[in-house]
Structures are given as structure tokens and as C-alpha cells.
Amino acid sequence: MKLGTKLIVYLVGVVVLTMLVHGYLSVRQDRENLVSEIRVGMRGFSRAVEAALRDLYADNRDLKATQEFVDRVGPRGNIHGIIVYDLQGRRVAVSRSLTESFPGLDPTAILALDPASVLQKRKGTEGYLQGPGLLVYYHVEPIISSENKLAGAFLLGRQGHGWRLAETIKTRRDRIVITTSVLVLVLSLLILLIVRRNVSRPIDELIERIREIGKGHWEQRIQVMGKDEVSLLASEFNRLSERLRDTYRSLVNEQQQKLELEKDLRHSERLASVGQLAAGLAHEIGTPLNIIGGRAEYLTRRPRSTEELNENLLIIREQIDRIAGIVRQLLEFSRRKEPSLRTVDIASLLAQVRQLVQHKLDEKGIKVDLEVSEPLPEIQADPDLLQQLFLNLYLNSLHGLGHGGRISIRVQASDNGIIRPSAASGVRWLGIAFEDNGPGIRPEHLDRVFDPFFTTKDIGEGTGLGLSVSYGIVRDHGGEIRVESEAGKYARFVIQLPVTPSDESASRRGLHL
């Protein structure tokens, strides 16, 4: 519910409640005024009736004359009836209005009254009886003879015109209803106009400006009118908008500076990587070229025997093959092979790769622990690419490990991704942890391990492409790879491969075509 509607409802509720209380008090006052009017009239009439009954009943004991008197008096005008009681409280004379059927008169309530207290205290009492359309005021007085002796009591009932009271109450109620309705209507319209102009419209404008700011339109401002709370809120909003605009511009400038700095850093890193790659390639290619040049010069100095000629040509051919291998490695990095998916048993593939590097493991006395959780599902992957991946990881560990080192490989299947749990919904994963207890990787190098051309090896020992190629192979299979290390203790590569490649991995492969 909007603020303006709430104000209208609350104020209208207060007005209605106030009018209802006022109406109730007015009707109650009208009733009291009517009863007071009846009481005043009854006191004078009661004294006249008392004087007549003193003569007829108290002094002369003329019951016939007493009956004729009460019959003549009641009912007349608004007199409801008269009852005369003896000393024992028995009715000795009752007006015909209370014993016969008269329109609009009900004698039941009057006949039920008991004069015992008046007879005992010799003191009059009064009150009124009320019912639907009925208001009867009664006055009970003792009958005292001329000798000041108690002779009995009489009751005088006066009809209070219940229809008049009901009509008065109805008129008052109708007037209150009409007045309240008019006040509510006028007040609602007035409040609606005031609230709309001073509250709802500024708040709606404030909300609209906030939405515009959310869209990036920082120049939005609210027109300030007056000095009330809404105007103060608009002023504060305008100041806030200015501060947000300045902050946004500052952040944009800082971001642009960061982007420029990052671009410069990337360029510097690229130049450093290219320089490092050039130095490595110069050494890798320069060495076989020197050998080729030296052998060729040796052969041209003088005639050689067939045996010497064949021996040197074989050496030249080996060096040419070495150069071709370096060039081929660069080409494989620049244009990755599209995975050819087949059913692969990871445990068997890891064992085959181990056989390929077993001679190097034996040379350094390095032990390999392979732990495979059973049962292990077969996956859809390219075995040649995975072989290259595992071979690169083996060679990376062999370079860092000294004599007597250890390589631990753990393989397990899981329904939850070990690297990207959010990506594991509905996919079964195969996790491979490849760990060695070598010198590890320094913290400042962890973020660059998979960067192309990055290597911590000496010049001539590597081009820094092995781990970058491995990263691409894992990504092309829809998996993830991360590195964990603590310098001086261990280096661990954690690989996560989907058992069945997803559409995401297919799209990744398409990017490298």
C-alpha cells in the first residue's frame, strides 16, 4: 500500500471514529434531556395526585371514589396509569389503563413494581422503565393522612413518548451518518490532493531517478521545492548523485589506468617471453647448426673415405631431425590438434606412459606410486593427446626431481567436481592428481605456470610450451587443471576430466579448429 493511501485510510479512520463517539454522546445526551423533562413534569403532577388521594383514601377510606379518581386521571395525555397500595403493599385501586387493553400501553412492567421500600421508609422513589419504543417514568410516593399517619402508597407512571425518543435518536443518527460521509469524502479528496502533490509525486520522481541512476544516467536530478522533509530528501539525493557520479568517473579512470597498465605489463611479459623463447631456440637450433656446419666443413677439406662420409652424413641428418623436432613442437603449440574421441582406459594409458619414461626414471632412481580407485570408468577422450599430457607432466617432474625422488599419481571417479563443483551438476568426473616431492614452484610463479613460453629451466633445457600445451589438451576435453605447490616440498597438478564430454567441451574444440 502506498504512503498516500495509508495516510488517507488512517485519517479517515480517525474522522469516522470521532464522529461515532460524538454521535453516541449526542444521542445519550438527548435521552438524558428527555428523561429530565419527564421528571420535572412528574414532580408537580405527583403533588396534586397526592393531595387528592389524601382526602379520598387516607382520610375517608372511600375506595369507590378512589377508583373513580384513578380511572379519570389515567390515561390522560401522557399519563401511563395510577396504582394505589395499602399498608401491606397490596393493590387496592388500579386505573383502567393498566387493567384493560389500550393501544401503545403495556402494564406488565408497572404492575411488577414493589412499593415495600417506600412503605418502610416513608420516602418516595422514582425511576424509568425502558423497552423497544417504550419509556415510562414512574414515581412512587407514600400516602399520608391529615393526621400525619401512613395510609398506603401510590404509583404514578408517565409515558415518555418512546416513539419521540426513537425518532430523535434516528434523526441524530442520520445526521451523523450524512455529516460523517461528507466529511470523509471532502477530507479524502483534500488529503489525496495534498499527499499527491507533496509526498507521492516527489517520491515517485525519486524512485524514477534512482532507476535512471541504476542504468548509469548519473546526471539525473530532482527539482527541490519547499523546505519539508521530502524536499530535504531530494536535496540529499541530488548530492548523493553528484558524489556517485564523481566516484564512478574516478573508478572508470582508475579502471582505464589499470587496463593500460595491464596492457603494458602483458606487452612486457610477451616481449620477455619472446626474448626468452628466442634465447632458448637460438641455443637449441644453434647447437645442431654448429655441428652441421662443422661436419660439412670437415668433409670439404679433403677427400674422405666412404666410411667417414657416411658417418658424418648420419650425424648431420640427426641434427637436422633435431631441428625439425623443435620446429614441430612450435607448430603443435600454435595449432592444436582436434581431439579424436575414443574409449580410453586411464589406468592402462598411465601405465603405458610410465613405460616410455621408465629408462629416465631408472637413471635417477625415481619411484612412481600409482593409486587407482576401483571401479574406474572408461572415458571418451583422445588417447594420443592424453599420452602427450601425461608425458609432459612426467618430464616436468623429472626435470625438478633429484636422485631418489618420488612421483605419486592418484586416480578416482566422483559425482562432484574437485575443481569446479558448480560445473559438476549431472556430470560424472574423473580426477587425476599428479604430485612429486621435488623443489616445488615458487609462489610468484604459480599464476604463470600455464603461460606459453614461461619456464624456470635454464636456456637450452626447454621452451616453456609443455605445460601450456597440457593446459590446452585438458580444456579441449572439457576438463580443468590447476597447480598446487609449496616451495621446497611438493608440486601437484590436479586434473578433472568428464567421463562423457559435454557440449561445452565440444564448443571449446571448435574454437581451435
Question: In sequence order, what E strands does 21-149 have?
Answer: 79-85, 91-94, 125-131, 134-144
Instruction: Report the percent of the chain where pLDDT is more than 70.
Output: 72
Q: Are residues 422 and 484 in the same domain?
A: yes
Q: Are residues 283 and 342 in the same domain?
A: no
Q: Are residues 377 and 237 in the same domain?
A: no
Question: In total, how many domains does the chain have?
Answer: 3
Of residues 130 and 426, more confidence is placed in: 130
| CATH code of the domain containing 318 | 1.10.287.130
Q: For 196-211, write each residue's pLDDT tens digit.
A: 776 777 777 777 777 7
Is residue 212 domain-resident?
no
At 339 the pLDDT is 74
Task: Give 286's DSSP letter.
Answer: H
At 2 the pLDDT is 65
Is residue 178 domain-resident?
no
Mean pLDDT for 34-59 is 79
Q: Are residues 124 and 228 in the same domain?
A: no
CB 399 within 8 A of CB 460: no
Q: Are residues 307 and 358 in the same domain?
A: no
Q: For 65-109, write each residue's pLDDT tens digit.
A: 988 888 887 665 556 688 999 999 999 999 887 877 655 566 777
When pLDDT is cut at 50, 70 and 90, the band that residue 152 belongs to is very high
Q: For 290-316, write each residue's pLDDT tens digit.
A: 788 887 887 787 777 788 888 888 888
Q: Are residues 329 and 341 in the same domain?
A: no
At 154 the pLDDT is 93
Q: Are residues 321 and 407 in the same domain?
A: no
Is residue 28 domain-resident?
yes
At 273 the pLDDT is 52
Is residue 474 domain-resident?
yes
Range of the domain at 376: 337-511
Beta pairing partners, 139: 126, 156
| CATH code of the domain containing 55 | 3.30.450.20
Question: In sequence order, what E strands does 37-187 have?
Answer: 79-85, 91-94, 125-131, 134-144, 150-159
Of the candidates 335, 370, 391, which is a domain's last residue? Answer: 335
Of the candidates 300, 335, 370, which is a domain's last residue? Answer: 335
| CATH code of the domain containing 376 | 3.30.565.10
Is residue 492 domain-resident?
yes
Is residue 198 domain-resident?
no
Q: Are residues 281 and 258 in the same domain?
A: yes
Q: Pick the most confident of 36-40, 188-192, 273-277, 283-287.
A: 188-192
Query: What does the buried/exposed string (b/e) look like for 238-248 if buried means 16 or more CB atoms within 10 Å of the residue's CB?
Result: beebeeeeeee
Q: Is the pLDDT of residue 417 over 80?
A: no
Is residue 489 domain-resident?
yes
The model carries a pTM of 0.39
Q: Are residues 40 and 65 in the same domain?
A: yes
Q: Are residues 247 and 329 in the same domain?
A: yes
Of the candidates 335, 353, 370, which is a domain's last residue? Answer: 335
H helices of 454-497, in order, are 466-476
Q: Are residues 322 and 345 in the same domain?
A: no
Q: Is the pLDDT of residue 164 over 70?
A: no
At 424 the pLDDT is 45
At 153 the pLDDT is 94
Q: Are residues 302 and 388 in the same domain?
A: no
Is residue 181 domain-resident?
no
C-alpha cell at 49: 395526585
Q: Of 353, 371, 377, which Cα lies nearest the Cα of 409? A: 371
